[in-house]
Amino acid sequence: MNTRISLSKKAVILFFVFLLPVITYFLLKSGQNMYKPLPVYGPKEVASTFHLKKGRKIQDTIYHTISYYPSADTGKIIMANFLLTDDAFGNKAANEQTWRLVDYFKKNPKLQFVTYAANNQWLVDSNKNDNWKVIYAPIDSLGSIAQQQYLLNEVKIDSLTKKYTASRRFIMLDQHHRIRGFYRMENRYNIDTLMDEVKVLTVELIREEDDKKLK
C-alpha cells in the first residue's frame, strides 16, 4: 500500500517537473520562442543591492509584498479572494467559482486557495477542503487589508449604506507574496487567463526550487 502511494506521489512530481513546463512553454511561446514571465503588480523601488545574471551586474528591485496570509503557506502560490458584504447571491456565486477552481487544481500541491471573510455564514453552503482555507476577521480589518495590501481599488465604503462594497476578484500571489495577477470572477476570459497563469507561475516556482537545490 505504501509502495503504491509512493509511486503515485512520484508520478505527480514527475508531471509537474517535466510535463507541465513543456505544456506551458508551447502555450505561451511568442514569435521568438521566449518564455514570458508574469508582471509584478504594485509600487516598486530600486534597491541599493545588486545580483549577477549571466555575468552581468543587475540592480535589485524592492517589490510590494503582502504580509497578511496564512503563515503555513509560505513558499506556495496563493489565490485569494474577499467576502466583504452580506450579498447572499454574490457570495454564493463567488464560492461556487472558487470551488470549481479548487477542484480543477486539486493535483497542484504548489497552489493554495484562501478566502478572507467577515462572517462564517457567508460560506455556510460551500465545499471546502485542505486546499481551500477560510480566514475570518472583522470586516474593517479585512477592508483595510483588501485596499492597502491586496490593492483592490474597488473596495470602498459606500456613502449611503456606510458598508464596504464587494470585490468579485481573485488575486494571485507568488511564493514571495508579491501580486502577480488580478482576475474578475464573472469574466470567462479572466478565468481562462487565471488557469493559464497559475501554470506559468507554478513553472516559475519549480524552476526557482530547482535552482536553489543546485547551489
pLDDT in tens, the chain (215 residues): 555 555 455 445 545 554 555 455 445 444 433 457 899 999 988 766 766 666 677 767 788 999 887 766 678 999 999 999 999 999 999 999 999 999 999 999 999 999 999 998 898 766 667 789 999 999 999 999 999 999 999 999 988 888 999 999 999 999 999 999 999 999 999 999 999 999 999 999 998 888 777 76
132-136 β-sheet, strand order? 132-136, 111-117, 77-83, 169-173, 179-184
Q: How far is CA 132 from the centre of its chain?
A: 12
For residue 193, give the 3-state DSSP assignment: helix
pTM for the predicted model, two decimal places: 0.80
Cell numbers at 28, concatenated = 505561451
User: 130, exposed or middle or buried, with CB in 10 Å at 0-12, 13-18, 19+?
Assistant: exposed
Res 183: pLDDT: 98
Res 188: pLDDT: 94
Cell numbers at 147, concatenated = 485596499
- Go through the chain and tell me how many residues it has: 215
Res 18: pLDDT: 46
Res 24: pLDDT: 52
